[in-house]
Chain A
Amino acid sequence: MTTIHIAIKEIKQALRDRRTFLFMLAFPIVLILILGTALSNAFSGSIELGEMKVLYKDTGASPALGGYWDGFVKAVEGENVHFTPLGKDMNGQEEVKSDNYVAYVEIGDEGIRFYGSTRNTIEGNIVQGMLTTFAQRYNLVAATMKTDPVAAQAVLANASAPHDIVKETALQADKAPGSIDYYAVAMTTMIAMYGAMSASTLIRGERSRNTAIRLSAAPVSKAEIFVGKIIGSLFTNLACVLAVVLFSKYAFKADWGYHMGMVILVLLSEVLLAVAIGLGLSYLFKGETARSIVMIFTQLASFLGGAYFPIGQDESFMGWISDFSPLRWANVAINKIIYSNELGAALPAIGLNLIVAFAFLAIAIISMRRREAL
């Protein structure tokens, strides 16, 4: 109960602090808008794709088409696209609706019928693009066959290059992170890290205001104070982060994908990491030094994590060092969740965040126990 009492006081103070609104809300939202619109050309939209599962049914009404289809399926399988024939009791459209498959395809006498998901996933778009290309070529072949069989052979030869089909459609996919989408994620993970700054003053602030005396003189354990403060800090920081997520989603139409829960889990683990780092550093360094170090750390992590502009994950020194930024872990994980529905990508990020967070919390706890007062 006392823990909650302390947490509530922490939240009250944070919400009254103008800096909270400035740094945690106004700043990121303005930056998403400015960077998102100013740098919109810098985005090529190249992204990693997840597995694409397609369900199909060959009615056998058009053996010629069926033959081409089988060839297409074989060729495309290697490209992370998997085709499954429709089972007996399955309803193709239902399967797509319930997200088990990206698309459902029927091969009948009147040609190919495609049922894509109404949800606008990038994989759905790619599969649709591939099938459109396939169908166009088939129609071309069918038409040419009647007039010029030799030319038809050439078209067919072309069609056996599914690599091209995949690449082509991937580039045309309308679901790639636009600049607003990119900065919505980047700014959100950045302010999640800003939580370190307020956290670094959690205990130090009490000392400088002498209120640490009252806290230590009260019949409350250090653990209660510690936990109460962490809960309060987590709450306000997460609230700010969620506010930016929702604002960018609804006001800027930024794409946050379909797995909001997982994205929020990643963000929560990042906020915990930030709070732990801030708290830990405030015990490791005295007074203003702690503040400066936390400041430099968050700025560096933001810069390297790609908060201001994307930093390539290449072999260069920058690419290598950026892997040490917690923002990078979070950004990569969240983008994978959003653009390729790779929920598993959250695990390494969350795991790493938790491990580092607990290391810093341990530092804080050990130093706190050594002190006579807070």
Chain B
Amino acid sequence: MSNVLEIRNLTKKFGDFIAVDNMSLAVREGEIFGFLGANGAGKSTTINMISSLLRNTKGEIILLGKNIAKSAKFAKSNIGVVPQDLAIYEDMTAYENVSFFAGLYGLRGAQLKERTVEALEFVGLGDKHKAYPKNFSGGMKRRLNIACAIAHRPKLIIMDEPTVGIDPQSRNYILNSVRKLNDMGCTIIYTSHYMEEVEEICTRIAIVDHGKIIAEGTKEQLKAIITDTKDIWIGIKSEDEIKVEPLKQIPGVASVRVEEHMVMINSKAEVNNLNLIIQQLIRDRAEIRSVEEQAPNLETVFLTLTGRNLRD
């Protein structure tokens, strides 16, 4: 498989602040490439450089074999950007929105009409041609936001958190659209705060932290990085009396999270400390209902590698 996108030693500075730090990566044709990172990790900055919205300070970006600094028009024509923040005109109908943006890519006349209809159909807004986005739900606006980026049939679609703040139904619709676009031959770069989404649809994932890629691979490869920790989830009746500090003192325990009816503990794999943990919980008068040892998930991988949660 050939590379659709290659990034070499990419750096972006805002004044003295380094937002993207000597980043290199390759996205292959047909991939859904996940970009995982906490707030401010540098995901949007990287994406903005790929889509020519920002100039890079150093390094190069190669799209379909051409350096985008030298063939900006070619690169722009082959990319579709779904911006993190909604970018649509509220005073233009859904149809006019898609048609206007597609027109910027040189589509005209019958072809423009056809592609506009197709894009709206694709995101499930086929019956909303004449509707104004100001009357749309959050999910519908997000879908229109996507339609505006795909009507010109780009080779590479970059989606910057396309599912922020929407209902589960729209989210499923969008995730399915992403898969469908991928089936149709589009390569996709997908950033999200939602670990489950990335885990569900991405074929390869890069974890970004402080402008650097700290891990990269399929989810299996990423999970394999952390053979040395385990997650213990303990269901309890009430979390009111649970004290976190004594739990953290138990040998091997790396982190403790208390949620509703649940205590989640990340611990070194080789230490057998389940007895101590349970004893402590009983001391805190917890009524234990279940104990589960979890296989590591991406959340744990992320936490282990970056030392912080994806969503704070």
Q: Which of B51, B73, B85, B87 has the most CB of A within 10 A?
A: B87
When distances are taken between beta carbons in the complex, the residues of chain A under 8 Å from B52 are 216-217
**A211-B87 CB under 8 A given contacts A2-B103, A219-B104, A372-B55:** yes
User: How far does the Cβ of B64 sit from chain A's closest Cβ, in whole Å?
Assistant: 14
Q: Return the contact of A373 from the options B53, B90, B96, B100 (Cβ within 8 A).
A: B53
Least CB separation from A225: chain B residue: B104
B76 A218 Cβ-Cβ under 8 A = yes
- In the complex, B88 has a CB within 8 A of chain A: yes
B105 A13 Cβ-Cβ under 8 A = no
When distances are taken between beta carbons in the complex, the residues of chain A under 8 Å from B108 are 1
User: How far does the Cβ of A371 sit from chain B's closest Cβ, in whole Å?
Assistant: 11
Which range contains the number of B residues in contact with the other chain? Answer: 20 to 34
Q: Which of A215, A219, A220, A372 has the most CB of B within 10 A?
A: A219
**A2-B87 CB under 8 A given contacts A217-B76, A217-B81:** no
B87 A214 Cβ-Cβ under 8 A = yes
A211 B73 Cβ-Cβ under 8 A = no
Q: Return the contact of B106 from the options A2, A9, A12, A372 (Cβ within 8 A).
A: A2
A295 to B149, CA, bound (A): 36
B89 A13 Cβ-Cβ under 8 A = yes
A27 to B121, CA, bound (A): 43
A219 B76 Cβ-Cβ under 8 A = yes
- In the complex, A17 has a CB within 8 A of chain B: yes
A215 to B103, CA, bound (A): 11
A219 to B51, CA, bound (A): 10
A220 B91 Cβ-Cβ under 8 A = no
Interface 1/0 per residue, A25-48 and B, CB below 8 Å? 000000000000000000000000
When distances are taken between beta carbons in the complex, the residues of chain A under 8 Å from B149 are 214
A217 B79 Cβ-Cβ under 8 A = yes
Query: How many A residues have CB within 8 A of the partner chain?
Result: 22
A9 B91 Cβ-Cβ under 8 A = no
B81 A213 Cβ-Cβ under 8 A = yes
A217 B88 Cβ-Cβ under 8 A = no
Q: Return the contact of B105 from the options A12, A216, A219, A373 (Cβ within 8 A).
A: A219
When distances are taken between beta carbons in the complex, the residues of chain A under 8 Å from B54 are 372-373
B91 A16 Cβ-Cβ under 8 A = yes
- In the complex, B77 has a CB within 8 A of chain A: yes
- In the complex, B92 has a CB within 8 A of chain A: yes
A82 to B55, CA, bound (A): 70
Residues facing A in B83-111 (CB within 8 A) are 83, 85-92, 96, 100-101, 103-106, 108
A210 to B51, CA, bound (A): 15
A13 B87 Cβ-Cβ under 8 A = no
User: How far does the Cβ of B92 sit from chain A's closest Cβ, in whole Å?
Assistant: 7
Q: Return the contact of B85 from the options A2, A210, A372 (Cβ within 8 A).
A: A210
- In the complex, B5 has a CB within 8 A of chain A: no
B83 A210 Cβ-Cβ under 8 A = yes
Give the 9 A-B residue pairs with the shortest CB-CB distance, closest first.
A218-B104, A210-B87, A219-B76, A217-B81, A219-B73, A219-B77, A5-B103, A217-B51, A210-B85
**Sample of 30 A–B contacts (CB below 8 Å):** A2-B104, A5-B103, A6-B104, A9-B100, A12-B92, A12-B96, A13-B91, A13-B92, A17-B91, A209-B87, A209-B88, A210-B86, A213-B83, A213-B85, A213-B87, A214-B83, A214-B101, A217-B52, A217-B53, A217-B76, A218-B101, A218-B104, A218-B105, A219-B72, A219-B73, A219-B76, A219-B104, A219-B106, A373-B53, A373-B54
Starting from the known contacts A217-B51, A218-B104, A372-B55, 6 additional A-B residue pairs (CB-CB under 8 Å) come to A1-B108, A6-B104, A9-B96, A12-B92, A209-B90, A213-B87
